[in-house]
Structure 1
Amino acid sequence: MSTIKFNAGKVQYDEDTKRCTPLPHKGTITIKPSADEESFFDFIWTPKSSSGLEKDELLIIPGDISFKQVVSCKTGRVFALTFLSSGAKYLYWLQDVGDDEQLNKLTEKDQQIVKKIQDIITLDDDEDMEQESELPSETETVKQEQQFTLPILDLDDAFPFEVLQQFIDELSEEEFAKFIEDNSNDLPETIKSNPTKQGFNDLMRSGFFQQSKANLSNHLKRNNGSGFLLAQLFKLNYQGEGIGNFLQALRKSNHEKK
């Protein structure tokens, strides 16, 4: 496959108003075969100037991605790149000159770009049959697109300290002892030798724990294969790159153990 490259900007989505606002900064999307994972693709959005916006570096896995126009947006040609397994969504607007009267009308060039992307994100028939049961139904996919769920940007978004503390505090003494026993390989000796809820909460407040969580978040956000390596390490069913997919793998693993 040859590299797909086109001009596009990022879109800001407001959860409260459900409104998409195209940002004025110019940028470029590049899609090319991944050098690290065979049959996967690198999706990179790069700002053209010092806009202060960070580069998007995502790993595309055929069958787990949709790329569809947001038809409700009438002020530009906005597309949503959606990870079907997690619901994570990235919004972009096409920046090449379009129709001045119908701002959301795709040009012939736009349609060619969309077709090329559809060709690489669509599974072959054989692969589609194998993975059909693992993918969301059409109804579920439509619901995901309507919700515009934004990606989890940090593990703190999913596991703020208050939530973790509440989880620990609500455990009975027997449940807490079992929790410590099940996770003993990952806990420091100070906790294993004197397992108390206060001691565990203090550990979660510690700079070491916070730094370790931040480092894990950064590795997962790079979408450079870290999710695959961590899935192998923790013996999880790999769901894709990124924090959302890693959490999805953890949830599935926990559900299977019950």
Structure 2
Amino acid sequence: MVSSTIKFNAGKVQYDEETKKCTPLPHKGVITIKPNADDEDFYDFTWSPKSSNSGNAEKDELLIIPGDVSFKKVESCKTGRVLALTFLSSGAKNLYWLQDLGDDDKLDMLTDKDQEIIDRVNALVAPAGDEPEAEEAKTTADPAPAAASARQGAFRLPLTSLSDFLSLDLVSAHLDTLTDDQVARAYGPYLPESFPPTKSSVLALMRDPFFQQTCHKLGDSLKQANGAGYLLAHSLKYEYDGEGIEPFLSGLRKKAMSEPTSSTSE
């Protein structure tokens, strides 16, 4: 994980949805990316004007969750070096133009410093699973470790976060087994009022940065074994079986299995 602060000069770009035209704002500014003070796995992205006399230039303060954003050069812009910070969960996009000197003859050509900045940011926002996937490919290519793993039978790694269990792929596969009515009855009461009770709404809520941050904080509290598991068991009325993520999930599962379910013929 990239933990050092990234800082570089950039201005904001105004984008017109109707004309599809990008207009660079004249204010000089700086972008700073640093670990979030409350959660070191997330990052604060800030654009701020360099001068207090920047008129109506609003400061950008964004939360970056690795895996939820992309940071790329806008290839269609030929009059400057414009970068797009895009949030994959919502589709929101923020545009910035690099203000350090570049090539006067090729205004859209990135400098070596520009490319280094882009590479550092992309390393920071890369999904946490990228490196483990590469390791998995390496492991499965060697039959000896694979055979040893098979002999261990029930061996598995412990859950280190709620996202290990509550993955989008797993939830999506589960929702695919339900009818629209079953999704609405099972998840509708827990969705915000503005969300229709559909599969896509459930997945959209799970992609929301606030939801992901909350899950991460809850997982951290459970791992710290500071009594959070006991308080949750008392609050959610399931049998307490110790601290940690797995006892928490096990307690919820036992509670759900013991509760009567409504008939699907209703």
CA–CA distance in 1 between the matches of 2:28 and 2:92?
23
The answer to whether 1:119 aligns with 2:88 is: no
CA–CA distance in 1 between the matches of 2:113 and 2:71?
16
Equivalent residue, structure 2, for 1:213: none
Q: Is the 8 A contact 2:68 2:88 kept in 1?
A: yes
Question: C-alpha root-mean-square deviation of aligned residues, in Å?
Answer: 2.7
The answer to whether 1:103 aligns with 2:107 is: yes
The answer to whether 1:60 aligns with 2:69 is: no
Equivalent residue, structure 2, for 1:11: 13
CA–CA distance in 2 between the matches of 1:29 and 1:4?
8
CA–CA distance in 2 between the matches of 1:6 and 1:71?
20
Q: Is the 8 A contact 2:168 2:206 kept in 1?
A: no
CA–CA distance in 2 between the matches of 1:89 and 1:241?
17
Give the length in aligned residue pairs: 145
CA–CA distance in 2 between the matches of 1:108 and 1:99?
11
**Matched letter for residue 46 of structure 2:** I
Q: Is the 8 A contact 2:89 2:207 kept in 1?
A: no
CA–CA distance in 1 between the matches of 2:168 and 2:67?
9
The Cα shift of 1:126 comes to 6.0
The Cα shift of 1:15 comes to 1.0
Counterpart among 72, 80, 84 of residue 76 in structure 2: 72
**Matched letter for residue 17 of structure 1:** T
The Cα shift of 1:24 comes to 0.9
Equivalent residue, structure 2, for 1:145: none
The Cα shift of 1:133 comes to 3.7
Distance change in 2, residues 1:20/1:99 (3 Å): same
Counterpart among 203, 208, 226 of residue 239 in structure 1: 208
- Deviation per residue, 1:162-208 (Å, 9 max, x gap): xxxxxxxxxxxxxxxxxxxx8xxx9xxxxxxxxxxxxxxxxxxxxxx
CA–CA distance in 2 between the matches of 1:128 and 1:73?
36
Distance change in 2, residues 1:13/1:64 (3 Å): same
CA–CA distance in 2 between the matches of 1:238 and 1:132?
8
CA–CA distance in 1 between the matches of 2:88 and 2:127?
13
Structure 1 runs not aligned, ≥5 long: 135-181, 187-235, 246-258
CA–CA distance in 1 between the matches of 2:130 and 2:168?
10
**SS of aligned partner of 2:209:** coil
**SS of aligned partner of 1:10:** strand
The answer to whether 1:93 aligns with 2:62 is: no
Q: Is the 8 A contact 1:63 1:128 kept in 2?
A: no
Q: Is the 8 A contact 2:28 2:49 kept in 1?
A: yes
**Matched letter for residue 29 of structure 2:** G
**SS of aligned partner of 1:43:** strand
Q: Is the 8 A contact 1:5 1:29 kept in 2?
A: yes
- Deviation per residue, 1:193-234 (Å, 9 max, x gap): xxxxxxxxxxxxxxxxxxxxxxxxxxxxxxxxxxxxxxxxxx
Q: Is the 8 A contact 1:8 1:26 kept in 2?
A: yes
**SS of aligned partner of 2:76:** coil
Q: Is the 8 A contact 2:12 2:24 kept in 1?
A: yes
Structure 2 runs not aligned, ≥5 long: 134-163, 171-188, 194-204, 214-266
The Cα shift of 1:239 comes to 1.3
Q: Is the 8 A contact 2:30 2:47 kept in 1?
A: yes
For normalisation by structure 2, the TM-score amounts to 0.50
Distance change in 2, residues 1:16/1:107 (3 Å): same
**SS of aligned partner of 1:114:** helix
Equivalent residue, structure 2, for 1:28: 30
For normalisation by structure 1, the TM-score amounts to 0.51
Distance change in 2, residues 1:238/1:115 (3 Å): closer
Equivalent residue, structure 2, for 1:222: none
Q: Is the 8 A contact 1:30 1:43 kept in 2?
A: yes
Q: Within 5 Å, which residues of 2 pair with 1:189-228?
A: none
Identity level (%): 63
Higher RCO (CA-CA < 8 Å; seq separation 6+): 1
Distance change in 2, residues 1:126/1:12 (3 Å): closer
**Matched letter for residue 239 of structure 1:** D
